[in-house]
Each structure stands twice: as C-alpha cells, then as structure tokens.
C-alpha cells in the first residue's frame, strides 16, 4: 500500500505543478481510441483448505487497447467513461504458459489546467488467467485509479499514464493488484 501512496503523491504533485500553467485550452469532447502497454503486479492468499492463508504472487505485462468518450464540463473539467483491455504474459507463482487478460469498465473525472490533465476514476476490473492446455479462471472486482496526460490543443493526439489498484475474488483465492498503463491515442472532436 505504501507504493500506492507514493504514486498518488506523485500524481497530486504533478497536478499542482501543472496548475501553474497559464494556457487556457479547454478539454475536447469526443470519441477516442488508444493503445500502449500494461503491467500488473498481484499478491494474494488462498481461501480454501488445505492451502488456506498460503500467500502467492505473480506479475504480467503486455499490450493494451481502449476506447473512451470524453465529455467537457466547462473549461477545466471533463467526464471520461472508458473501456480498456489487455493481453499479457505472466511470471511468478503461476504455472508456465499461463496468459492473463485484463479489462476495465470505468468512469473518470479529469482536471485540465491547460493542455495537461490529472484525473481519478472508479471501475469494474476483470482478469482471466488462461493455461496453455485450454483451461481458464476469471474474477472481477472494484477498484480505483489515477491518471495524468497531455492532449494536443487542437485535438487529435494525446498521451497518458494510468495507475490502478483493485481487488479480485477467485473461487479459491483473494487477490490484490496494482497496474500501470502507458497509452497513446487519437480523439475525434
């Protein structure tokens, strides 16, 4: 959890620094597509005998894609419903050959002190772990996140980073995850 607080502090500091920007560009309304990389780190404990309480951890990284529709709420705020998905290879305490799929259906709010933004969001997070033999496990749960980015003042190109923290409940384990995503995209206005 200390790692989460450190990242939150960095995002808040970036927001305060960006707040001194004198640019007057407003957020753009419109549909966007984006893609980039995603990385997840998970730790959990088994909840069923005979392994009850036994800890484990794993990580994954891969490619991410997403869509959103930004709604400007004046010159400095926007609402951002979004959908993201990623396909990732795994490492750690999982069997060799396991892949991970992650998804987020979320709603964010962004503060725009110019062409830059800082934001926060809530979402429903999902994970599917698939083995090389064809079996899979899935779980979903709630979580929160922070984001920061830049959008071209004329619309179009944008980049952003996102940090998420969420919890999942599998039939035999509870898992806490953190994720980092770096994305580049295009917004139609």
Q: Is residue 104 a contact partner of residue 125, using CB atoms and an 8 Å limit?
A: yes
Going by C-alpha positions, the residue among 24, 17, 32 that lies closest to residue 69 is: 32
CATH number for position 155:
2.40.160.20
CB atoms within 10 A of CB 52: 11
Residue 135 buriedness (CB in 10 A; 0-12 / 13-18 / 19+): exposed
Going by C-alpha positions, the residue among 187, 129, 141 that lies closest to residue 166 is: 141
**3-class secondary-structure state, position 156:** strand
Q: Is residue 107 a contact partner of residue 123, using CB atoms and an 8 Å limit?
A: yes
Which pTM was predicted?
0.84
Work out the widest C-alpha separation in the chain, in whole angstroms: 61
If one counts the domains in the chain, the total is 1
**3-class secondary-structure state, position 14:** helix
Q: Which domain holds residue 53?
A: 2-187
Cα–Cα dist 65/62, whole Å: 10
At 82-136, the pLDDT tens digits run 999 999 999 999 888 999 999 999 999 999 998 999 999 999 999 999 998 878 9
Q: Average the pLDDT over 24-39 and give the result.
A: 90
Is the model more confident about 40 or about 8?
Answer: 40
Q: For the chain, how many helices (H) and strands (E)?
A: 1, 8
At 72-96, the pLDDT tens digits run 999 999 999 999 999 999 999 988 8
Residue 1 buriedness (CB in 10 A; 0-12 / 13-18 / 19+): exposed
In which residue are the tokens 């997403």 written? 66
């Amino acid at each position: 959890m200390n790692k989460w607080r450190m990242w939150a502090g960095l995002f808040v500091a970036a927001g305060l620094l960006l707040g001194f920007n004198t640019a007057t560009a407003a957020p753009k309304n419109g549909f966007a597509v984006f893609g980039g990389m995603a990385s997840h780190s998970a730790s959990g404990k088994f909840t069923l005998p005979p392994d009850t309480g036994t800890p484990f951890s794993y990580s994954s990284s891969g490619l991410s894609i997403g869509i959103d529709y930004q709604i400007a709420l004046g010159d400095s705020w926007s609402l951002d419903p979004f959908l993201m998905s990623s396909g990732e290879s795994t490492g750690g305490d999982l069997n060799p050959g396991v892949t991970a799929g992650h998804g987020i259906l979320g709603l964010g709010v962004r503060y725009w002190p110019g062409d830059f933004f800082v934001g926060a969001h809530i979402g429903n997070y999902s994970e599917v772990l698939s083995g090389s033999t064809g079996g899979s496990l899935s779980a979903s749960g709630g979580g929160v996140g922070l984001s920061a980015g830049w959008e071209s003042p004329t619309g179009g190109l944008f980049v952003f980073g996102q940090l998420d923290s969420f919890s999942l409940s599998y039939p035999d384990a509870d898992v806490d995850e953190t994720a980092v995503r770096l994305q580049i995209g295009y917004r139609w206005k």
